[in-house]
Amino acid sequence: MKPVKIFKNEADYIKLLGEIRINIEKSRHKAQLSANKAMISLYWEIGKKIIAVQKRKGWGSSVVEQLSRDLCSEYSGMKGFSRTNLFAMRQFYSFYSTNFRKVPQPVGLLPWGHIRVILGKVKEVSVSLFYAKETIENGWSRNILTLQIEKKLHSRVGTALTNFDKILPLPDSELAQQTIKDPYLFDFVTIGKDPWERDIELQLTEHITKFLLELGKGFAFVGRQYPITGKLKLL
């Protein structure tokens, strides 16, 4: 969008606008990375707790299934607490905890879908770290990561790691775009309605239901937040 000519030196304004845009995009990128790191750390802790309680209590897979049911009920609509994903969190912690006390860099910067690919295709921690680092440095999408693992890139170039704690995904890479669109991250940052708002909705729904029941036949309660389409006709 071309700025309105209100300055004597339009070039200076365009430069200012460009610098501010860069700052905005950098800040957005940092915020997305922070949110993603928080989610991956949460998944690490959940996996850790599941393994710990299974060892302590001797519980089997049923505890994971019950957790999934309860968490999905509490946080309805979130993909992150499915049975499959909880088992993946358990695998995530089990795989890396033999070498690390917390989520290793650069794994914590990857979208969860990328981590799932690595967990499913790589058997050695050192090799997994190589692919995590290469993914961030090159901005690989999940498909490219999968292809590089299947082509055994690590066996051709080695797995030595440099600048291990200083790399960040490029803001304009496919990796960054997939991080933004990651359904797990989207669910995590919009973890649901504020409890107060949800409580109000429940109370209103309860009163509306009672009211319609009192009116008798000819009235129906379709459901909460039911989408209505079509044109209204004025009588």
The winner for highest mean pLDDT among 27-36, 68-77, 87-96, 101-110 is 87-96
What is the arithmetic mean of pLDDT over 107-124?
95
pLDDT per residue over 172-215, tens digit each? 567 766 666 677 777 777 655 454 455 555 555 665 666 566 66
Pick from 68, 75, 60: nearest CA to 89: 68
Residue 84 has pLDDT above 70, yes or no: yes
Band (168; pLDDT cuts 50, 70, 90): low
∠197-199-205 over CA atoms, to 5°? 105
pLDDT per residue over 45-78, tens digit each? 999 999 999 999 999 999 999 999 999 999 887 7
- pTM, entire model: 0.70
Domain ranges of the chain: 10-193
Pick from 168, 104, 176: nearest CA to 141: 176
